[in-house]
Each structure stands twice: as C-alpha cells, then as structure tokens.
Amino acid sequence: QQTIAYEGVPVGTIKRHITGKGNAGKEAVIAAVTALGFSPADDNEADALAILLWALENRFGEPASLSPILAAAKKFHQTLMSS
C-alpha cells in the first residue's frame, strides 16, 4: 500500500507568496497568476496554480519563475484550456 504525503499550508502563506500580501483578495491572486502567464478560468483555478507555484519554490528549491517545471505546467494548463 502506498501513501501520498500531505502538508497543510495556511492560505495566508500561499497568498503572500503569490501576491506579496497574506490577506490578498481573489482578484489579486488571479492577477498575480495571470502575470506569470497562466489564464485561470476562475479563482479556484488561480488558487490551485498559486499552490503549485508555492510548492515548486518551497519544496523543490527553485524559484518558480526559472523552473522548467513551471514551463511544463503552463503548457499543460494551456492544453487543458484548449480542449
């Protein structure tokens, strides 16, 4: 039997990482994710992308803006949006 690692991350931590403000609103998160080249369909998708970007930088040790994983994530996201 396999397990999947779980880690709780406070919402304010994710918001601060993506926008610079821990109490940022939904529109600020959407704007920050959009500025990085994504096109989130809604605030839920923007939140998911913000979590991904936080994890890339904080768990894989690379700045998300330089990560080849980020480029792959953008391509995957664009593929999903076009289908």
The model's pTM is 0.74
Burial of 77 (0-12, 13-18, 19+ CB in 10 A): buried
Nearest to 40, CA basis, from 25, 29, 53: 29
pLDDT single digits (tens) 38-72: 899 999 999 999 998 888 888 776 665 556 666 77
| Residue 19: CB atoms within 10 Å | 20
Residues whose CB is less than 8 angstroms from the CB of residue 21 and which lie 6 or more positions away in sequence, other chains included? 15, 28
- The pLDDT value recorded for residue 53 is 87
